[in-house]
Structure formats: C-alpha cells, structure tokens
Amino acid sequence: MSWFNHIEKLNIYLQSLSIHNNDGEEMEANAGFSLWAEYTLGIRDKRKTVFLIGNGASASMASHVAADLAKNAHIRTEVFSDLSLITAIANDISFEEVFAEPLRRRMTAGDMLVAISSSGQSPNILRAAQEARGLGGLLITLSAMGFDNPLRKQGILNFYLPAETYSLAETCHAAILHHWIDQMVLVVSK
C-alpha cells in the first residue's frame, strides 16, 4: 500500500467515526467530543481521577495520554502499567483481572475509565469496564474492527471506527485521544 493510499484509508476511517451514548443513540462527532470534555472537566474540578487502560500498543497510548492530561490539563490520571502489579494479579488471580482488581481498590464513584481496545473483545478490558460501571465510574470506550464488538455498547460514550487492522485502529485511536487532550489543554490555557 502506498503512503497516499494509507492516509486516505485513515481519513475514511476517521470520518466514519461513530459515537453512541449509553442509550445507543448516535451522536455527531463534535457533540460527542464536547460531552467527553464536559465530563472530564467535571472530574478535574472535583479532583477525581481518569483511569486509562489498554493492552499492547493501546497500553502505551493509555500511558502517553495519562501523562499529557496530567502535565498539560492538570487532571489526575492513573494507568496500571507497573509490571510487578500486572504479573502479580495475572499469576495470583487471572489475566482477566489485571485492570479490574486495581480498579476495585482505587476507583470511586464519579471517576472515569477510558477503555481502549482495537478489537473491543479483550476479556481483561471487558472485565474492567464491567467493574468500573459497578463502582459508579464514567466509562468511555474506544474500539474498532467488528461493528458488534461487546465493548462499544458499554460506555456512557462509545467511540467506534470500522478500521480492519490493529495498526489502523491504533493510529485512529491515537488521533481521537489527542483531539480529546487538545480540547482539555485549550480549556486550561484560557
């Protein structure tokens, strides 16, 4: 695939962004991002926490976004990327619990969980999403690939792209997350 075909495909996927609320109603992109920003500002003002989770490249995105939000938008953030924590939970409990278990100990009602999964089918992400909802957290999901993946129906806001590969999904998710960061930084800089 040529560079121009690649960026054309990314453009098509990004323009195909689908955002649904927890009632399954589709939202226009700017309205969805505005609502996400509104939720995030409420969290910042109440000194709550934004938790971010993902596997593989999505985990590195979660860490990157957490750092940018903390540094540039003055938002409390947390990721569960400590290798000792992950391996202890995976070994002693199960890999499905690597995010849900720390959420049980750290998340309080009104915190936010941003769950990033290209396939929308990762068992550990789905468990954490379920746990966050049970704890009264605000769940935001980012997924791709299968239109009917289970993650894209669980959040108060669900961002879905029809990207067919992990690399295309991850690139599009990075664009979505950076747009969110930029919105938050604009608010802080005013």
What's the pLDDT band for 187 if we cut at 50, 70, 90? confident
CB-based contacts of 16, cutoff 8 Å, min separation 6: 161, 162
Q: What's the CA gap between 151 and 133, in Å, rounded?
A: 12
Q: What is the pLDDT of residues 10-39, one digit of tens each?
A: 999 999 999 999 899 999 999 999 999 999
The yes-or-no verdict on residue 1 having pLDDT over 80 is no
- The ranges assigned to domains in the chain are 3-189
pTM over 0.95: yes
Q: Domain 3-189, CATH 3.30.70.380 — does that match?
A: no
